Each structure stands twice: as structure tokens, then as C-alpha cells.
């Protein structure tokens, strides 16, 4: 509460600029060990571990962006749809390691420090999966060209313009449960770094690992989201083996 009082307005809904200022100074607040260790029926966290190759190089051409990964999550679709306009929250965190640039001091470049970047996008309710892939390709192209498109998904606390700082990206979506029901696909894709721009060092063919944590919370209801997700995970394991 003290952090919010210091950096957020007394009245009205905080803007994205207010939230960026708050998080720049305070991070995401005080850690809650109970929330970190336990899930409950109406609040749970999914953790995904993945890897991809951010870049590739054909013959003597300049390295290009290579992989993106789509995560189709075990999603409580029917349970969220049944809640209709009930307010819910989803938090997505993408974390990965980068390799610092070995160059000497004084080298100026937009990508002078990080070896590579990763970004995440979440499928919107009105999108097909092919349209979602197309949007990710467009976002990757914008990263390559140094441009930015804000888009129309305004229910994120930070938004795509502000959440991709450093190598741990986190954002919170807040809205109606029925809206969240169709957002069970998350894409992870690469952004530029010195592995691509300094091809002479031959680091462009490296594989990178990342972690995704997706939390869903419906605090004002007694809906059982946990069991719905657990049953899907058990089924997928049985099919796999």
C-alpha cells in the first residue's frame, strides 16, 4: 500500500505510464510466500520450460530470426466461459538468461549488451491460431526494424511497449472471465541481440532456454479452475506414454 500511495494517483484508474513508473521503482511489490508455494481451486500457476534457436545463418548471408514456440496450455475453457463477465486476472512471466557482450567499452549499439532477446504474446479472443502466428511474425519484424505497434489489446497493465525490459518480462491481464477463456495459447519469439549483429563471433547458432509462468486468478468466486487444469494434464500424460 505504501508503494502504491507513493507512485499511483489518489483517484481514478492508474494509466500504463503510472504503472511503469511504479514498477521501475518498486518491482512487482512484496513477495508472498504462500502464493509462491501453493495453488488453490480458484487460483493456480502453470510453469512451462522451453527452448528455441533464436537465429540462423544460411551460407554467407547475415543471420536471421529463426524459431518461435507456441504453447497450447491446458486451459479451463468451460469454467471460465461459465463465469461470463466475472473479473479475473492472468499474469504471464517470461524469464531467460542472456550472454553479455564481450566487446570493449565505448562500443555504441542498440544491441550492445544482450546476446538475444525473447518476447511473449498471448492469443486474443477473436484470433484464429493462424492469425495469431501472423501477428507474432509482424511483431518480430517490428523488433528487427526497431519499430513498434501498440495494437488493440488494452487490458494489460504494462502492454507490449513497456513489459519487455531486461531478461525477465512480466505483465498482468485483467478482464472478464469469458474473454480470458479464449487466450489459452502463448507464443514466445526472438528479438535482436549481438549474437545476430556480430556474426563474426559465430554465436548465431546457439540454442536458448526459457521459463514461462502463467497464473490465473478468480478471487471473487469459488470456481474450481485447478481441477479442470489438472485433469487435462493427467490426460495428456497418459496419451503421451
pLDDT number for residue 236: 63
Cβ 16 vs Cβ 9: under 8 Å: no
pLDDT number for residue 177: 95
64 grid coordinates: 536471421
* CA–CA distance, 184 with 225 (Å, rounded to integer): 13
* CA–CA distance, 235 with 183 (Å, rounded to integer): 21
pLDDT number for residue 168: 92
Locate cell 507490449: which residue? 160
pTM of model > 0.75: yes
What is the per-residue pLDDT across 175-212, written as a single tens digit (0 to 9) for each? 999 999 999 999 999 998 999 988 888 899 999 999 99
Which residues of the chain are under the pLDDT cut of 70? 104-111, 145-152, 236-241
* CA–CA distance, 74 with 123 (Å, rounded to integer): 14
Cβ 188 vs Cβ 71: under 8 Å: yes
pLDDT number for residue 189: 95
Amino acid at each position: 500500500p505504501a508503494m502504491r500511495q507513493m507512485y499511483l494517483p489518489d483517484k481514478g484508474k492508474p494509466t500504463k505510464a503510472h504503472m511503469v513508473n511504479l514498477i521501475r521503482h518498486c518491482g512487482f511489490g512484496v513477495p508472498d510466500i504462500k502464493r509462491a508455494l501453493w495453488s488453490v481451486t480458484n487460483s493456480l500457476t502453470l510453469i512451462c520450460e522451453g527452448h528455441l534457436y533464436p537465429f540462423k545463418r544460411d551460407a554467407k548471408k547475415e543471420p536471421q530470426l529463426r524459431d518461435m514456440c507456441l504453447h497450447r496450455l491446458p486451459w479451463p475453457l468451460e469454467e471460465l466461459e461459465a463465469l461470463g463477465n466475472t473479473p479475473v486476472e492472468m499474469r504471464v512471466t517470461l524469464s531467460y538468461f542472456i550472454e553479455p557482450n564481450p566487446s570493449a567499452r565505448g562500443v555504441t549499439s542498440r544491441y550492445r549488451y544482450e546476446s538475444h532477446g525473447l518476447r511473449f504474446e498471448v492469443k486474443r479472443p477473436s484470433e484464429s491460431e493462424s492469425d495469431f502466428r501472423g501477428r507474432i511474425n509482424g511483431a518480430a519484424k517490428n523488433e528487427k526494424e526497431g519499430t513498434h505497434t501498440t495494437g488493440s489489446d488494452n487490458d494489460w497493465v504494462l502492454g507490449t511497449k513497456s513489459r519487455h525490459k531486461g531478461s525477465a518480462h512480466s505483465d498482468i491481464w485483467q478482464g472478464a472471465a469469458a474473454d480470458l477463456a479464449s487466450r489459452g495459447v502463448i507464443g514466445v519469439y526472438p528479438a535482436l541481440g549481438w549474437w545476430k549483429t556480430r556474426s563474426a563471433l559465430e554465436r548465431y547458432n546457439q540454442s536458448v532456454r526459457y521459463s514461462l509462468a502463467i497464473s490465473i486468478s478468480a478471487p471473487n468466486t469459488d470456481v474450481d479452475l485447478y481441477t479442470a487444469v489438472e485433469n487435462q494434464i493427467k490426460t495428456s500424460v497418459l496419451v503421451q506414454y
